[in-house]
Chains A and B, each alone.
Chain A
Amino acid sequence: MSGAFRIPGAGRFSQAKTARFSFDGRSYAGIEGDTLASALLANGVHLVGRSFKYHRPRGILSAGAEEPNALVEIKRDAARKTPNVRATVQELYDGLDGQSQNRWPSLSFDLGAVSDIASPLLSAGFYYKTFMWPKAAWKRLYEPKIRAAAGLGVSPDQPDPDHYSSRYAHCDVLVLGGGAAGIAAALAAAETGVRVILADEQAEFGGSLRFESGAKIDGQDGFAWAQAAVAKLAAMDNVRVLSRTTAFGYYAQNFVGLVERVSEHLRTPGHDLARERLWQVRAKRVVLASGAIERHMVFADNDRPGIMLAGAARTYLNHYGVAVGRNVGVYTANDSAYAAAIDLKKAGVNVAAIVDLRENPTGPVIDEARALGIEINFGRAVLRAGGKLRVSSMTVQPKNGGGERTIAVDAILMSAGWTPSVHLFSQSRGKVAFNDETKRFVPGTYAQDCVSVGACNGTDGLSATVDEAYAAGAKAAKDAGAKTAKGNKPKVDASESWSRGMLGAAPGAGPDTTVKAFVDFQNDVTAKDIRQAVHEGMRSIEHVKRFTTNGMATDQGKTSNMHGLAIAAETLGKPIPEVGLTTFRAPYTPVTFGAIVSHARGPLFDPTRRTAIHPWAEAQGAVFEDVGQWKRAWYFPKAGEDMHAAVDRECVAVRKTAGLFDASTLGKIEVVGPDAAKFMELLYTNPWEKLEPGRCRYGIMLREDGFIYDDGVVGRLAPDRFHVTTTTGGAPRVMNHMEDYLQTEFPHLNVWLTSITEQWAVIAVQGPKSRDIIAPLVEGIDMSDEALPHMSVREGKICGVPTRLFRMSFTGERGFEVNVPADYGQAVWEALWAEGQKHGAAAYGTEAMHVLRAEKGYIIVGQDTDGTVTPNDAGLDWAVGKKKTDFVGIRGLTRPDLVAKGRKQLVGLKTRDPKVVLEEGAQIVEDPKQAIPMKMIGHVSSSYWSENCGRSIALALVAGGRDRMGETLYVPMPNGVIEVEVTGMVFFDETGGRLNG
């Protein structure tokens, strides 16, 4: 037996298999096809959670995505623990393990419920008011308390082991919502042959046909028609049907985000199945068929478990075969609840009474209810609900006052009317319009190529809905380019129809009362809270919303927004449209990070770039560091060496014999064309026209504001060809910067730019023995100092493959950078390595490279500069062509602030104690005894232990630095003040003799 409240013969899953599940540790039986909510109700379980603020016992309000109360944790294993799952959406599978949330120690006895008694302290705006003072208490007391108390669910503490997938899709007509309207629209569009996608958030299509027992279409029961129609659609080549798929966001130009729950409903999801799939769909036309959501009645203690929406109770009965009680009361302000009462009564459930706020409504459902012998009370209100963990009674009173009467019930079905779901329409930036007659917001002005049909458009009645939707589907297809239509409009043989209802608080929960009549269940906002917000000065609905948090929970106020608005409007004494509706934002329902992130995590989070020489370095046991997307060999530790020892050894080896360094990640751009030199003149501060082919120059690139943007050595291979190098991290932006000027400011120049970073592997061979290592492998290049002086470049062959051989140095030693086609990078490296071994050469990594260049005072753009450093600040004025009349940045350099005295300038620092290594980023002061906050005059930009110098060395940006040579400055640190002396930037081989050594 799958629950005592399952009614034999009712529902659509009577033949289904039993599914066992547990909730809060107790075992139950449900059936396949159930949601967790229907399975719990079948077992008579209504109490499923505690409310957010007051910890009040809560039950199941709805049967769909709008659920604000029944949020549970679903646990498959320690890593697959999903909090805040709506029990009304979670499909049951055998073995499902659910837990209630926000209660301690147990659901029926929750100590946190004391906040219900203390609720006057927690009224609207309590976040803002209570914790305003004192400031210190916020950090220590309030915030931790709130964080602990505000727990709706607990996140899993292990990485998500599942995978998610992501698809892009294009279609002509995207239909969102698979009720009668959506299906009719999809049929009309699909029959024309255009590409159609039909999506619905439920496991089964049908929408309200799931519960409307009175619907008949094409001679069939409405729900059966829906299944047949969707099966027909699914079989068409031009149609994609997506169930369990929620459209959560409607973005620009008909771009819609949907999440498909692929395996959340399966007992054992296979490893080949994604957990969820993100669909990003671009549609020529969108048909919105998102339906309507029923509103609850706002009366005292309307949150007792067992009180639910009438339509939900009807869904549980007609779809799942579950009675939500044995003796139910009905509280309504419109006709639709009567249909629920009639269906339940016919199924054998006692309907204690219908309480209808309306004075003397008439209509077939009322007649039918009366004929079934149901007691009907017009013009009466439910004053309050009795019971605590489950509703036990409703107290009824004529709405204009009079004697009270208490009726025993075990469930109350309520309906204040239906709110069109304009969420997606509103997200599309369409403007809603208020229909004063029906008191609802419906789509008004459209901003995108979409159309709303059925209940979400304020269209009442199945027949009108199908007519409207079918016509809209056909028109959408035509607008998207369809030629012909063939097919037949579904014929509605019988339908249900209702509209109207009421907004705001019911009698008994009016302004003169202090009862807890909930408007927003998920955030515990009452009618009184909304009135209080207005009394405290909130005038705009956006302010009321933030002050009370009405509609700000994860349910986004699907059931509460209209009530909240009506109460605010009434209190303000303004008509509803003047108070205005709050903005609907994506996502419509919560979306997991997994679905958004999809495959882009772990190693696939960001591409990894490896050089041609990477495998060799890896085999040598190199330690790598991340530089942008690149993996760079950081240092090459030998057995027993720590980083410090390895770097010291590598630095000494380079200056003593030679070192090999993989410089392949350097950005490389080829600038080619008759105007290449002219272009270089404009993009770099240096002069280029007179640079002879075969020679190199250190170039500085500025932005127009005069600050250093990038630097690098440039070789002129031919009059019309430059081989430009950039910093590793700067390559893409330098290329973009060059292209920008070439395409838009200097389009008259005949120049071509090509990124060649990945085409050339670069092996730096630096040190006194560097030429001896290279020379035996080179063909066609005279390696003598006369033929190949420092800062020159030659093309020839090395190891039989083409090379661009640069004589240049980033270490201050005699040095070369061997460029070879990347495919030969490792082979040439290995050949050079073999030669190097004869001379005792070492491989060195980026850390030694940094130390060696700092010993020579060579800057690294982005480390020693920060986007506010001019060439003059960096001591590089010599690289700015004084006779040039134009280059990017020429005007910026003469701005008043850039030529002012006292600018921060790059200098060297030596600590008084040579053993002390400064911290990069440390601040520098003149007087360490001054009061805090001290006046900072600069900071350390580079700092290392230099084994070659036998001491620490540092570069720093210091105000007026070059006028402070020999001055003593101070670096205050947590463990004391470090005394430093300002020096020049070159710490090793000041004369530069070693470049030819």
Chain B
Amino acid sequence: MLSALGSQVLAFTESAGKFSIFTARAMAAVVRPPFELRELMKQLERIGVASFPVVAVTCLFTGMVFTLQTYDGFARFQAESYVPGILGVALLRELAPVIGGLMMAGRVGSAMAAELGTMRVTRQIDAMEVMATDPLQYLVVPRLLATVVMLPLLIAMGDLIGIWGGWYLINVVMDAPLPGFFDRVFEFLEPFDFWSGMIKSLFFGLIIATVGCYKGLTTRGGAEGVGTNTTNAVVYASLGILVSDFFLTRMLT
């Protein structure tokens, strides 16, 4: 029993160490030529543009649900006029980065793990190595950069969509006009509310891409290995987002 636990702890520490080394090597590869611009463009398109609908819908409904809940609560002491400001802060600082990030872990992190994992078990990664191409530079760096650039952009658009969702809910769905909704949002917000959400998104993008690529490249054992590693990529990236969100929030408040 105890020894099983011990070996699990050991295995965990070992993979945590390997993951840190992988992350450091990936960072070093970012600034080392050659730069794979074609691959980067491809990933910007696949990760950024193609993910927009998912993030948009997620933020739209998050904004509406949050508005519904706070409106209901604030109405008990006639404080409905604070709803727009609270919505803005909650969405920009917390809801859009975290929920959007979790959706992206499911969409993008899993795709990376599955794609690179399949390439690993069918020896395409070895073939690349043989043709004097570093998979870290050719495969990992474009995915990493694309995610780190695109996630904040997507979340920034999600912020706007979520706020619009709140407006739509109150003014159209509930038919309880709240004049100057957007003015109230932007009067209440400070620039730092926005930037703290952007910093979070950037970190979450880093977590999604490094975990997804690491899990992909370390895949062993055929189709089954691809399956478990893909699942693990999503689980670990999501946990990473939720845990690091706590520490980032402590630093950014």
Chain B associates with chain A? no
The chain A residues found within 8 Å of chain B, CB to CB, are none
